[in-house]
């Protein structure tokens, strides 16, 4: 089984949180930053690094707020662990800025842009855990 790690990046607001999405390289669909485990790093640390590389954000990962998605890609099973990342800084320049677009939007608008129902569920669950 292939393992991937990603981040649900959110910017804290007074009433609601905004969410950061990026475009995928191939399809240009809106997604959360994600990728393979980086050698020598934990899953959450890999997710944090992907958020920096793909979305140009720095912040804190909350290991307790996570969501697991099982899917199939190119005939192989994939496990994606998405962790909550509270954004502390949004960079003007970042490694993949030229090959991805970044969008900072409300949670409700993000839910409409995400094409995968599992990622919408992950977004809802992870941000609901923040309110507790």
Q: How do residues 48-81 score in pLDDT, each as one tens digit?
A: 999 999 999 999 999 999 999 999 888 899 999 9
How does pLDDT run across 108-132, given as a tens digit for each residue? Answer: 999 999 999 999 999 999 888 555 4
46 CB-near residues (< 8 Å, 6+ apart): 5, 35, 36, 37, 38
- Burial (CB count <10 Å: 0-12, 13-18, 19+), residue 64: exposed
Task: Please give the sequence-ordered ranges of beta strands (E in DSSP) within 74-127, or none if there are none.
Answer: 76-90, 102-106
Give CATH superfamily name and number for 2-131: Nucleoside Triphosphate Pyrophosphohydrolase (3.90.79.10)
| pLDDT for 17 | 86
**Alpha helices (H) in 6-82, listed in sequence order:** 43-50
- Tell me what percent of the chain is helix, strand and coil, each rounded to the nearest 5: 25, 45, 30
pTM over 0.75: yes
Domain residue ranges of the chain, discontinuous segments joined by +: 2-131
């Amino acid at each position: 089984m292939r393992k991937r790690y990603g981040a649900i990046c959110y910017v804290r607001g007074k009433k609601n949180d905004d969410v950061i999405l990026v475009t995928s390289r191939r399809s240009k669909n809106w997604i959360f930053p994600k990728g393979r485990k980086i050698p020598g790093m934990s899953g959450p640390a890999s997710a944090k690094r992907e958020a920096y590389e793909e979305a140009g954000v720095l912040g804190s990962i909350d290991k307790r707020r996570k969501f697991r998605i099982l899917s199939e890609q190119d005939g192989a099973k994939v496990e994606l662990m998405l962790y909550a990342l509270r954004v502390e800084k949004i960079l003007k320049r970042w490694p993949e800025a030229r090959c991805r677009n970044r969008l900072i939007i409300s949670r409700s608008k993000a839910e409409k842009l995400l094409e995968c129902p599992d990622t919408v569920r992950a977004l809802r669950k992870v941000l609901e855990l923040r309110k507790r």
